């Protein structure tokens, strides 16, 4: 009986995780944000090389695990504010926002917010950290 219960629990767990993974695989962040410029990986690399400010809008835990070199961490849920963005530059200063990648909603939410506050040169790096890493680009660890 105990073996049967464990087997049943395993089947239910597998079915649940498979359904959850299928739902996550279907969801994708929007390709564009009205008022922001969506940038490709190649464009992001050029912007980074040009010294444009990159803003990692993930939690401090994810940021500390790894982030794009010199990126500023402003978690979208509490630190990503108009006043904190103004500390990084004027409303027409180019800034790149990113999160984990195409299955992450944080960067498009941040881009939408920045545009609504009147920022006019927001770059939405949809491929985010996953795209950056998969291309073999350098990353930093820990806080800045």
| Residue spans of the chain under pLDDT 50 | 7, 9-23
| CA angle (39, 41, 42) in 5-degree steps | 95
pLDDT at residue 25 in the model: 53
Count, residues in the chain: 144
Say what the pTM is: 0.82
Residue 14 domain flag: no
Residue 11 domain flag: no
pLDDT at residue 20 in the model: 43
User: Which residues have C-beta within 8 Å of that of residue 135, sequence separation ≥ 6?
Assistant: 41, 45
- State the total domains in the chain: 1
SS3 53: strand
Residue 23 domain flag: no
């Amino acid at each position: 009986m105990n073996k049967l219960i464990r087997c049943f629990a395993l089947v239910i767990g597998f079915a649940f995780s498979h359904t959850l993974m299928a739902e996550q695989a279907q969801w994708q962040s929007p390709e564009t944000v009205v008022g922001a410029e969506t940038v490709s990986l190649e464009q992001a690399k050029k912007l980074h090389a040009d010294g444009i400010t990159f803003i990692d809008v993930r939690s401090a835990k994810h940021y500390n695990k790894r982030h794009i070199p010199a990126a500023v961490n402003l978690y979208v849920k509490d630190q990503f504010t108009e006043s904190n963005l103004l500390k990084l530059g004027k409303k027409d200063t180019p800034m790149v926002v990113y999160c984990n990648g195409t299955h992450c909603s944080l960067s498009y939410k941040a881009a939408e917010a920045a545009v609504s506050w009147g920022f006019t040169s927001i770059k939405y790096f949809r491929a985010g950290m996953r795209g950056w890493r998969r291309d073999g680009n350098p990353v930093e660890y820990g806080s800045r």
